[in-house]
C-alpha cells in the first residue's frame, strides 16, 4: 500500500460533506447494459480496469484531521448479482434498486467502489458505484469507455486498445500541490482578486434556512431552439455554454433585479495532457462574474460572458473555496450554491444500447447545491434540469424558474439583437412571477 496526501479538491469535498452533516451519499454511478453479460468475464474486466486506474483501488482515510490517499494492490472484484427476472415489473424494480444504491454511501475508507449486476428478462445492467472522492463526470465517461473496451476485447480474445494513462491521480495531486504554492499561487490569487473584488451572489430569498428536501424540474429545448442558439454562438465565436450561461444571467437578473451577478460552474480542470485518460476527482468550482445592462442587446451580454469564460479557463486551477476570504459578498448564503453546468456529450456515464438512460436516471434527483441549472445534450436537443433544495425553491417555484429559462432561451436565440429588457418584459406578459425581493430589501 502506498500513501500520499489527498488532492485539494478531495479535501474540499470531504470538508463540505462533513460540515453539511454527511447526509449526502456522494455516490456516483456508471451503467452498462447488454442483452447478456458474462459475470466471469465482467469480473476479469473489472480486475483489469482496477489495474489500469489506481483510483479504483484508492481508499481515503482521515488521520489527525488530514485526508490521506491509500493506493492498495489489486484485489478480486466483489460482484453482487441481483436476479430480477421473476419480478412483476422488472424495470421499475431496477429503477428503485439504482435509486436505493445511489442513496447508500460507498465506504471509501474501506474500498472506493461497489459493483452490482442486475439480470432482467432479455437484458442485464451492470452498475459500478464509486465514491465521488475518486471520480467526477469526465472520469465517469472515461471509466465507462475503458470498461466497455476491455469487456469487448475479452469477449473476442484480443488485447484492449486503449490510450496510455500517463499520470495516475496521486501524481497529479502532487503536481497540484506544487502549482498552488509559491509564485504560481500568488498569480492565481491576484487574478481572482482583481476579477471578483466586490462581487456578490444572486440574492434569492431563503425559504428554509435548513433545507431538508431536494427536487428537480426540467424543460426540453427543441432542436430548432438549439440550432438558433448554436448559430448565435458561432456568430460570436463562442461556445454554446457561454450563450446558455448568458440566458441564465438574464433569468437571474429578472428574478433579483441585480445587474452584477456571480455564479459558479464546474470546470473539468484537465489542462495537463498527462491526465487526459486518468480517473480521479479533478473538477473545480470556478466563479464566473458578469454585468448585465437591460438596455443592451443580448449579443452584448454574450460577448461579455465569452470574455469572462476565456479569462477564467487558464486560472481554473484555483478552486473557488480557496479564494482569499471576503472577495465575494454572500449575505445570507454561500456563493457556491448557485451553479450553472453544461455536460459534455462525449462523456456519458451510461451505455444502455438502445434504452433511454433517463428511464433509469435517479442520479439527477440528487441536489448537490441549493440551485444547480444543468444542461444535458440529448441528440441535437437539450434537456435543461434544475436541481434544487427547499432552501430557495418549492416545487411550483422551481417549475416556473426552469420554464422561464426555456422561454428566454427560445426568445433570445431568435432575437439576440433586441435589448435584454424587451425579453424580460415579454416574459412578464407570459405570466412569469415578479422579481424576488433582494436580501437587502427584505432586511
Cβ proximity of 84 and 93 under 8 Å: yes
Confidence band for 334, pLDDT divided at 50, 70 and 90: low
What's the whole-number average pLDDT of the chain?
88
| CA-closest candidate to residue 413, choices 219, 235, 217 | 235
The pLDDT, as a whole number, for residue 347 is: 52
Cβ proximity of 35 and 146 under 8 Å: no
- Separation of alpha carbons 127 and 133, rounded Å: 18
The pLDDT, as a whole number, for residue 429 is: 81
pLDDT digits (tens, 9 = 90+) for 152-199: 999 999 999 999 999 999 999 999 999 999 899 999 999 999 999 888
The pLDDT, as a whole number, for residue 120 is: 96
- Separation of alpha carbons 57 and 99, rounded Å: 24
Residue 13 has which C-alpha cell?
Answer: 469535498
pLDDT digits (tens, 9 = 90+) for 78-123: 999 999 999 999 999 999 999 899 989 999 999 999 999 999 999 9
The answer to whether the predicted template modeling score (pTM) of the entire model surpasses 0.75 is: yes
pLDDT digits (tens, 9 = 90+) for 224-268: 999 999 999 999 999 999 999 999 999 999 999 999 999 999 999
Rg over CA atoms, the chain: 22
Helix (H, G, I), strand (E, B) or coil at 234: helix
pLDDT, average across residues 414-428 = 94
Confidence band for 442, pLDDT divided at 50, 70 and 90: very low
β-bridge partners, 128: 30, 115
Could you tell me where the DSSP H helices lie in 133-285? 137-155, 169-179, 182-196, 223-235, 240-256
Angle at 104 between CA 101 and CA 105, to 5 degrees: 130
For CA atoms 150, 169, 267, 183, give the dihedral sign.
negative
Confidence band for 389, pLDDT divided at 50, 70 and 90: confident
pLDDT at 346 over 80: no
Amino acid at each position: 500500500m502506498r500513501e500520499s496526501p489527498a488532492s485539494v479538491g478531495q479535501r474540499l469535498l470531504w470538508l463540505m460533506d462533513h460540515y453539511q452533516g454527511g447526509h449526502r451519499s456522494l455516490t456516483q454511478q456508471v451503467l452498462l447494459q447488454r442483452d447478456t453479460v458474462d459475470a466471469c468475464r465482467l469480473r476479469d474486466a473489472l480486475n483489469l480496469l482496477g489495474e489500469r486506474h489506481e483510483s479504483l483501488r484508492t481508499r481515503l482515510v482521515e488521520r489527525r484531521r488530514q485526508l490521506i490517499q491509500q493506493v492498495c494492490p489489486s484485489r478480486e472484484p466483489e460482484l453482487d448479482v441481483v436476479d430480477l427476472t421473476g419480478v412483476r415489473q422488472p424495470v421499475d424494480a431496477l429503477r428503485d434498486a439504482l435509486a436505493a444504491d445511489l442513496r447508500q454511501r460507498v465506504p471509501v475508507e474501506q474500498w472506493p467502489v461497489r459493483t452490482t449486476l442486475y439480470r432482467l428478462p432479455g437484458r442485464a445492467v451492470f452498475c459500478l458505484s464509486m465514491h465521488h472522492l475518486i471520480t467526477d463526470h469526465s472520469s465517469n465517461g472515461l471509466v465507462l469507455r475503458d470498461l466497455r473496451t476491455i469487456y469487448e476485447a475479452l469477449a473476442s480474445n484480443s488485447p484492449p486498445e486503449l490510450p496510455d494513462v500517463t499520470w495516475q491521480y496521486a501524481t497529479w495531486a502532487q503536481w497540484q500541490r506544487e502549482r498552488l504554492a509559491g509564485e504560481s499561487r500568488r498569480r492565481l490569487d491576484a487574478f481572482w482578486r482583481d476579477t471578483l473584488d466586490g462581487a456578490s451572489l444572486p440574492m434569492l430569498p431563503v425559504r428554509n434556512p435548513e433545507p431538508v428536501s431536494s427536487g428537480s424540474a426540467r424543460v426540453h429545448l427543441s432542436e430548432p431552439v438549439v440550432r438558433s442558439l448554436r448559430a448565435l454562438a458561432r456568430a460570436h465565436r463562442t461556445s454554446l455554454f457561454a450563450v446558455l450561461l448568458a440566458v441564465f444571467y438574464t433569468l437571474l437578473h429578472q428574478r433579483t433585479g441585480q445587474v452584477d451577478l456571480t455564479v459558479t460552474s464546474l470546470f473539468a480542470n484537465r489542462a495537463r495532457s498527462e491526465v487526459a485518460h486518468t480517473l480521479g476527482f479533478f473538477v473545480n468550482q470556478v466563479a464566473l462574474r458578469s454585468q448585465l445592462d437591460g438596455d443592451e442587446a443580448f449579443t452584448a451580454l454574450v460577448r461579455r460572458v465569452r470574455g469572462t469564460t476565456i479569462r477564467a479557463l487558464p486560472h481554473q486551477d484555483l478552486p473557488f473555496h480557496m479564494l482569499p476570504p471576503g472577495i465575494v459578498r454572500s449575505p445570507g448564503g454561500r456563493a457556491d450554491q448557485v451553479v450553472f453546468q453544461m455536460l459534455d456529450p462525449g462523456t456519458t456515464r451510461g451505455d444502455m444500447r438502445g434504452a433511454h438512460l433517463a428511464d433509469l436516471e435517479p442520479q439527477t434527483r440528487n441536489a448537490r447545491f441549493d440551485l444547480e441549472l444543468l444542461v444535458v445534450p440529448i441528440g441535437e436537443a437539450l434537456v435543461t434540469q434544475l436541481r434544487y433544495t427547499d432552501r430557495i425553491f418549492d416545487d411550483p417555484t422551481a417549475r416556473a424558474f426552469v420554464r422561464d429559462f426555456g422561454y428566454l432561451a427560445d426568445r433570445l436565440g431568435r432575437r439576440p439583437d433586441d435589448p435584454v429588457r424587451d425579453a424580460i418584459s415579454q416574459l412578464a406578459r407570459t405570466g412569469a412571477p415578479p422579481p424576488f425581493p433582494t436580501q437587502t430589501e427584505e432586511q
